[in-house]
Structure 1
Amino acid sequence: MDNSQLFYGPSSNFAFLQQLHRSILLRSQQSHGYSQDFHESGRGLDMFMQRNVFFGVPLRAEPGNTPLSDIQSQMMPKTLATAFLDNFKTSSLHILPFFNAGALDELLDCLYSTQPDPPLQPHRRVLFLMVLAIGALSSTWTELADILFSQAKQEAITSEDSVTLSAIQFSILVTDYQLNMGRPNSAYLHVGHACRKAFALGLNTASGSALLHEEEELEERRTTLWCLYFYEQWVALTVGRKSMMREADVLLPYPEKQTSLVNLCRSASIIEEAVEAIYSRKSESLRNLYTTTQGIYRKLRQHTDIEGFGSATVVQYNSPSEAMSTLMLHNIYFHVVHTMFRPFLVAESAIQGGETAELWLRQACRNATDAAADSIAFVSSMFHNIDVSKVRRYDAFCIEASCSILLHDSLRHPSKHPNNLVYIRMALDCLRAMTDDEPITNVAHSIERILSVVEQTISGKDEISTSTPLFEASMPVPPHHQQHNNTHQRNILFPSLGQSSSREDFIFLSNRQFQATNYPLPESQGTSEVAAGRVANLDSRLNFDVLATDLSTYFPLDIYMDQN
């Protein structure tokens, strides 16, 4: 049997969602009078409708089955390719500035040239196919986007082990595409591959450029390297895994005239510092962790205040491309803020006896919830002034993470739910305005499902325990590592809360004996039946186990520990 397993670390939204899941189970257990430790069956992923989020949206195209000539003649006439390219220029060129707009237009003409020997080199064609695939995602042409993606990967096989600048750029483009299509695990693997090639090429050192004399080539190398640094730090943060490239490894200056990319890289530097200080090791004192976090937060605010985002400064942009850049910078800023302060939400929820009197802990929790609400409010405001069809699908991830914070807050403080609900509904409206396809539809359905369960839990209704079999309160469950010896054994989501072994630091989500269960979808306006069907019909190829960090054991929960 395949032993495939995905790990999601403490900084990932997946780990935080499991804390929300645990809180619901505990509340449900208490409302039904159970006092024993609980165990949950392997349906936790489906309770929140998160299976495609954990494992990734399956590819819709078979690799290499459609020749490029057929794609051009039958599926993608030049007018459609031009539309995809315009989408890319508006939505993604600011973050993937390997080419200028004029060079992209020339590549389009070369791709559709009727000359017998068009001057389009193979490595340039592969990169341009990825550009078109990313641009296609700002539309409902998802199947065609996956076909272009598969074709690009097929053509890139011959240079898979090449240590070249274009090979690194290809991996970065694939990383971006996979993020937009809701495949974070693939994105992590590809950006790591690009880092290895960058080190092998010496791209991160000044000596690596010693043989170059053209300033344009030097600038392209700097742009590629810093773009890679941003993606490496960002993807590692969102999946909670180790990053390979550090800022100290990058010995080249920032690229010139790339304001958006430079701002992203400066934010990535603070992400690197935050992950190292908050999420890379266990802290002995929650109060000391707060002091450290506040210091990093002040540094982040200083940076964003200077650059004019994430603050009270009036947002200005002069073009659709600048608007998309502004949206991305703000999404990243707010996500970093509430990710930095999420540990204090976990600690606060573990405190018995109601509200804590510790003002610093209350402030830390407010920083997280305020950032989540502000993020949604900002996105909603932007959506009233921009062409929403150009918005990158990946922005749905930031909306989802903000909703997770607010739903956790509602569960912990039911009196806050009416106010939080305003923002959650605002978030759902934003998602419905975006491209009506995966992974956006997956995120919308998941948020609606979690909202429904949270509201049932708050109200004390019995639907939670009757409509979805959450746990068996009195059934002892053998350890996870014995599952392969017993095909009838129940999968474990959480280790027993009373255990003191080292595996208590992790949460296991097993898919080995998974049987699809079609839980009823919440009613949603503006959601296509096709998209809803894709969510209901879970893919049998998602055959992995998931290992997520248990945040309730990872962070110190005794707020008084440091007072001695």
Structure 2
Amino acid sequence: MFKTKISKACQECRKRKIRCDGQNPCSACQRRNTVCQFRERARVRKPTAESSSNHASDQEEKENEIADHHQPQSHLYRDVHRSVSARHQSSSDSVELYYGPTSDFSLLQHLYHSLYLNGASRHDRDDSEEVGQGLDFFRVRHIFFGPAATALGAGTPGAVNLPLPPAHIAHALMNRFLATHYNVVPFYSKSRYDQLLGALYNDTDNSQCSQVQKQICLLAIATAAANTEHFEWGATISQYCQAQHPKMQYTHLYTMYHLECAHSNIAYMVIGDTCRKAFAAGLHRQQSRANPDDNQGALERHHTFWSLYFMEIWVSFFLGRPSMLEYFKAEVPEPQDIFLSTLVQYAKVMLKVVQQIYRSQCAPSVLWNSAMTVGREMNALQSKARSVFGIELDAPRISDPRGMRPTILITLYNFMSLLIFRPFVIIRGKLQHPQQEVSESATSRTPPDIPSWLNDACHKCLHAARSIIVYTCHIAAADPLLLELRFNCFYLENSLFLLLYDMASNPENRDHNLPLIHSGLRFLTNMRPGDPVCSSIATIRRILQHMNLDVGPGEPIQHAPPSYSMGFDPLASNSPPAPASQMNMYPSPWEEQPPQQVEESGAAAGNDFQFDLDFSAADFNVDITAIDWGTFFSYVPS
């Protein structure tokens, strides 16, 4: 049987002396999960002769040098899609969590390697990198792991009556929910929510409202309260509802509440459990014996399923974790709500981004072709938003419609564009600082020139990040309802981290990026203090401080005397100790006990103050085995 000849084989098949099918990537490289690289042009074989053997070898070496010059070395991009994991141990429990390459923790770890490790990255790492040191250094361990399970389990017993907030506060929170979060979870009509709220405060109208529906109404109030000064009411209501027996729509809202509280890991687990409840209830199938008179019930089922479909894929997408709906084909017709239908299309494009951009470790040129393929799907979203909603997604204007729906579409579209092209920014950063990534034997090699298509990809990514910052700071900030939404903080911090990474690898871009970073910090400072806002501000200002740049608005970062006698130094095993100005900064401008208070109290005592302490009766016979050292050294010393 004759086989079709091909013009060239990939470098990996040539090295192994096996047959290559000529595909990009070829089947052999796909089976071995190796990088498939082709020469830019096929080698012309000349007649065999002893006199031309040396010339042929020289020509081959020259072509290899040309290919290497135009294609980045494999070690520069093989860890671009690295996932991150960390383990948290305490005296009573041990937790290990994983976040994928699309998460902000993955980008933050790339930034940590670029700024602090100074060439200490190891190329023999597994696909999932341990990032405990980076979490401790940036003080984001509590965001990474979320609240403890014991803290979440301490809910209010179900038998205890819940003290409701005052009626005027409840109505204000319900109106806030209907104007914001309701657009993502429209399984009830707005009039139905008003009816449920009236039933909560008027016992005479309880006949048409079940106990589960009342809990859904309560959780809608709690979700809106998480963004206001009434967040304590939201926590109380959430703990009360947690003690009940949650239904599917209730857990759907419970996911949104945890997202607003920056409990993304809990939201991921809750939304996954909700999907299984939806499958068990048959929401993914078309009803064969549906009641033709129950149009409202069928509409609620469809909207519940499709809002769940978007939420599950969205949460999995920004956490970088697998989605249980990735290969799922629904039999339910598309939602009638035009905005929910658009969100479903967004979710389908997210799945394609994960499959084509973040699943394969291929050469950057091949990755660019995949990005262009997904880009055509993004253009379809942009055309629909322009024709249906009258907004420009990639370049929002002051004249665009305001409100929650345009904000969701614009920020989510640009965030997806950012993630499509973010690997190219990381690759270019490694090319611009090759001494941080190559081995000692290859440090003498001249770094390759950056091709134009790589610069174009980085420009698209940075443009998306800047669009998020400009839109959020100049348009969303003008609406008090949108100012306090925590998901704005999530998109904003991802964009700011990307600009910081670009500045770390490209110092000439500081003049262009730094004003945008300061604008983002001002927006975050105007939000209500609390996580993840405080943690984002502290991390960004900490990075700026390390780069010797203006830390922006807010209180100056305090410095403490260097103290390395005990405790954990996150850089001890990988690089020399950082200066005290970098290692001893307090993470948040809202620190409960600022260090200057200690200094002022010491200064107020005066130089003439003398300590008169008598240790003669002290008992220093301490059993150190009874001390919980894991809790004692749970944080990096300041």
Equivalent residue in structure 2 for 1:375, among 454, 465, 468:
468
**Judging changes above 3 Å, is the alpha-carbon distance between structure 1 residues 542 and 172 closer, same or farther for their aligned structure 2 residues?**
farther
For the residues of structure 2 that align with 1:307 and 1:268, how far apart are their CA atoms? 15
Q: 2:185·2:307 contact (CA, 8 Å) conserved in 1?
A: yes
The question of 1:364 aligning with 2:457 is answered: yes
Corresponding residue for residue 521 of structure 1: 586
Corresponding residue for residue 219 of structure 1: 299
**Judging changes above 3 Å, is the alpha-carbon distance between structure 1 residues 302 and 471 closer, same or farther for their aligned structure 2 residues?**
same
Q: Which has the higher helix share?
A: 1
Equivalent residue in structure 2 for 1:16, among 89, 107, 111:
107
For the residues of structure 2 that align with 1:310 and 1:532, how far apart are their CA atoms? 42
Equivalent residue in structure 2 for 1:189, among 269, 272, 281:
269
Q: Give, in angstroms, the shift of residue 404 of structure 1.
A: 1.0
The question of 1:311 aligning with 2:426 is answered: no
Corresponding residue for residue 85 of structure 1: 174
Q: Give, in angstroms, the shift of residue 68 of structure 1.
A: 6.2
The question of 1:269 aligning with 2:348 is answered: yes
Q: 2:248·2:277 contact (CA, 8 Å) conserved in 1?
A: yes
Q: What are structure 1's unaligned runs of at least 5 residues?
A: 31-36, 161-166, 477-516, 534-538, 545-564
For the residues of structure 2 that align with 1:221 and 1:531, how far apart are their CA atoms? 50
Corresponding residue for residue 379 of structure 2: 301
Of 108-117 and 295-304, more deviation after overlay is shown by: 108-117
Q: 2:262·2:531 contact (CA, 8 Å) conserved in 1?
A: yes
Deviations 1:102-124 (A, max 9, x none): 11111111111244966531111
Q: 1:180·1:393 contact (CA, 8 Å) conserved in 2?
A: yes
For the residues of structure 1 that align with 2:571 and 2:259, how far apart are their CA atoms? 33
Q: Give, in angstroms, the shift of residue 213 of structure 1.
A: 4.2
The residue type equivalent to 2:140 in the other structure is Q
Q: Give, in angstroms, the shift of residue 77 of structure 1.
A: 1.1
Of 57-66 and 347-356, more deviation after overlay is shown by: 57-66
Structure with larger Rg:
2
Q: 1:342·1:365 contact (CA, 8 Å) conserved in 2?
A: yes
Corresponding residue for residue 135 of structure 2: 45
After superposition, where does 1:321-360 map in structure 2 within 5 Å?
323-351=403-431, 352=434, 356-360=449-453
Corresponding residue for residue 288 of structure 1: 366
Deviations 1:489-517 (A, max 9, x none): xxxxxxxxxxxxxxxxxxxxxxxxxxxx9
For the residues of structure 1 that align with 2:592 and 2:249, how far apart are their CA atoms? 34
For the residues of structure 1 that align with 2:255 and 2:101, how far apart are their CA atoms? 22
Q: 2:414·2:464 contact (CA, 8 Å) conserved in 1?
A: yes
Equivalent residue in structure 2 for 1:403, among 493, 496, 500:
496
Identity value in percent? 25
After superposition, where does 1:458-497 map in structure 2 within 5 Å?
469-472=569-572
Corresponding residue for residue 155 of structure 2: 63
The residue type equivalent to 2:585 in the other structure is P
Of 239-248 and 192-201, more deviation after overlay is shown by: 239-248
Q: Give, in angstroms, the shift of residue 95 of structure 1.
A: 1.0
Q: Give, in angstroms, the shift of residue 435 of structure 1.
A: 2.5
Q: 2:178·2:190 contact (CA, 8 Å) conserved in 1?
A: yes
The residue type equivalent to 2:394 in the other structure is S
For the residues of structure 1 that align with 2:189 and 2:350, how far apart are their CA atoms? 28
Q: 2:271·2:311 contact (CA, 8 Å) conserved in 1?
A: yes
Deviations 1:108-161 (A, max 9, x none): 111112449665311111211110100102302222211111111112x2xx5x
Q: 1:111·1:120 contact (CA, 8 Å) conserved in 2?
A: no
After superposition, where does 1:28-177 map in structure 2 within 5 Å?
42-57=132-147, 62-64=154-156, 69-72=161-164, 76-115=165-204, 119-155=208-244, 157=245, 160=246, 167-177=247-257
Q: 2:465·2:496 contact (CA, 8 Å) conserved in 1?
A: yes
Equivalent residue in structure 1 for 2:325, among 245, 249, 263:
245
Q: 1:28·1:457 contact (CA, 8 Å) conserved in 2?
A: no
Q: Give, in angstroms, the shift of residue 437 of structure 1.
A: 2.5
Q: 1:57·1:181 contact (CA, 8 Å) conserved in 2?
A: no
**Judging changes above 3 Å, is the alpha-carbon distance between structure 1 residues 324 and 179 closer, same or farther for their aligned structure 2 residues?**
same
For the residues of structure 2 that align with 1:339 and 1:518, how far apart are their CA atoms? 31
Q: Secondary structure at the match of 2:98?
A: strand
Q: Give, in angstroms, the shift of residue 542 of structure 1.
A: 13
**Judging changes above 3 Å, is the alpha-carbon distance between structure 1 residues 395 and 474 closer, same or farther for their aligned structure 2 residues?**
closer
For the residues of structure 2 that align with 1:246 and 1:217, how far apart are their CA atoms? 27
Deviations 1:203-229 (A, max 9, x none): 111136635641111111111111011
**Judging changes above 3 Å, is the alpha-carbon distance between structure 1 residues 268 and 315 closer, same or farther for their aligned structure 2 residues?**
farther
Corresponding residue for residue 508 of structure 1: none
Q: Secondary structure at the match of 2:541?
A: helix
Of 398-407 and 118-127, more deviation after overlay is shown by: 118-127
For the residues of structure 2 that align with 1:66 and 1:409, how far apart are their CA atoms? 51
Q: Give, in angstroms, the shift of residue 169 of structure 1.
A: 1.3
Q: Secondary structure at the match of 2:522?
A: helix
Q: 2:493·2:536 contact (CA, 8 Å) conserved in 1?
A: yes
Q: 1:383·1:430 contact (CA, 8 Å) conserved in 2?
A: no
Corresponding residue for residue 556 of structure 1: none
**Judging changes above 3 Å, is the alpha-carbon distance between structure 1 residues 317 and 363 closer, same or farther for their aligned structure 2 residues?**
closer
Q: Give, in angstroms, the shift of residue 67 of structure 1.
A: 6.8
Corresponding residue for residue 507 of structure 1: none
Q: 2:117·2:571 contact (CA, 8 Å) conserved in 1?
A: no
The residue type equivalent to 2:531 in the other structure is E
Aligned residue pair count: 468
**Judging changes above 3 Å, is the alpha-carbon distance between structure 1 residues 40 and 118 closer, same or farther for their aligned structure 2 residues?**
closer
Q: Secondary structure at the match of 1:4?
A: strand
Deviations 1:62-120 (A, max 9, x none): 41159764522xxx111111111111111111111122221111111111124496653
**Judging changes above 3 Å, is the alpha-carbon distance between structure 1 residues 432 and 5 closer, same or farther for their aligned structure 2 residues?**
same
Q: Secondary structure at the match of 1:206?
A: coil
Q: 1:344·1:365 contact (CA, 8 Å) conserved in 2?
A: yes
Q: Secondary structure at the match of 2:102?
A: coil
For the residues of structure 1 that align with 2:194 and 2:369, how far apart are their CA atoms? 51
Equivalent residue in structure 2 for 1:198, among 275, 278, 287:
278
Q: Give, in angstroms, the shift of residue 250 of structure 1.
A: 1.8
The residue type equivalent to 1:472 in the other structure is A
Q: Give, in angstroms, the shift of residue 428 of structure 1.
A: 1.1
Corresponding residue for residue 234 of structure 1: 314
For the residues of structure 2 that align with 1:402 and 1:523, how far apart are their CA atoms? 20
Q: Secondary structure at the match of 1:249?
A: coil
Q: What are structure 2's unaligned runs of at least 5 residues?
A: 1-91, 387-391, 435-445, 552-558, 577-581, 596-629
Q: Give, in angstroms, the shift of residue 51 of structure 1.
A: 1.4
Q: Give, in angstroms, the shift of residue 307 of structure 1.
A: 0.8
Q: Give, in angstroms, the shift of residue 452 of structure 1.
A: 2.1
For the residues of structure 1 that align with 2:237 and 2:587, how far apart are their CA atoms? 34
Equivalent residue in structure 2 for 1:178, among 236, 245, 258:
258
Deviations 1:266-301 (A, max 9, x none): 11110011111112x223322111101122123202
